[in-house]
Structure 1
């Protein structure tokens, strides 16, 4: 293995470890922000995914990069608690759309002040331009991973 190849492997490892750490940090912050509204981070994540428009469970899972089964479990709990509801899906008879109820929207609204405060504190620490650039770089990294791991049509994705 060449030195250049080893350096690329090290960059991949550092990036992955950094993202794993960030994931843990964001989950901890999300739990803290969601708790006063009576939500968990995962409930907030799924409910937040359908605020703009109703989506099927598979669409939520795809957007978040998590399994459809875990989204389905949370969606069912949200419906059971009256925070969301299933609506008919004109594009697919069996795959219903998940949508927030008024109670769900109100619950999410209770998170907004803490969310806004945390965003402002993070922007103050990073600087607004660096914060925006960080979001762009992470979005680009996600796109690159999608591209690199997607195999040609008919072939399984490769690691």
Structure 2
């Protein structure tokens, strides 16, 4: 879904994390459950391509905030219709009960991984 918009899945995830508000790389990594280093690599690539930019962080001089540029926002908007259609088809294929159960199981899995230190 991301490829036709000119994004990789990782780029899409990082941009999605900062659509509502700029965040430091460490905050993005925590929200995504991945290493700061992996987010830093993606953030640098996004900034290099003009899809995101670093701005000063009033709370921390060295930890700059990442925010999407208008070009980055436009790329995410190009994905949204395909993503919505995919979700609609998936929900239709599973049916409401099975979809709800799948979500419950995945939420329990995430909680269990957090508890045992898997993230």
Give 3-state SS (helix, strand or coil) of 1:53's partner: coil
2:84 and 2:23 map into 1 onto residues whose CA distance is 25
Deviation for aligned residue 1:59: 1.1
| CA deviations over 1:6-65 (Å, ceiling 9, x no partner) | xxxxxxxxxxxxxxxxxxxxxxxxxxx011111111111111111121111111111112
| CA deviations over 1:83-106 (Å, ceiling 9, x no partner) | 111121122111111111111111
Matching of residues 143-158 of structure 1 within 5 Å = 143-149=111-117
Determine if the alignment matches structure 1 residue 75 to structure 2 residue 69. Answer: no
TM-score (norm 1): 0.69
Q: 1:142 aligns with which of 106, 110, 113?
A: 110
Q: 1:61 aligns with which of 22, 29, 39?
A: 29
Determine if the alignment matches structure 1 residue 106 to structure 2 residue 74. Answer: yes
Q: How many residues are matched? A: 118
In structure 2, the gaps of 5 or more residues are none
TM-score (norm 2): 0.90
Deviation for aligned residue 1:143: 1.9
In structure 1, the gaps of 5 or more residues are 1-32, 151-159
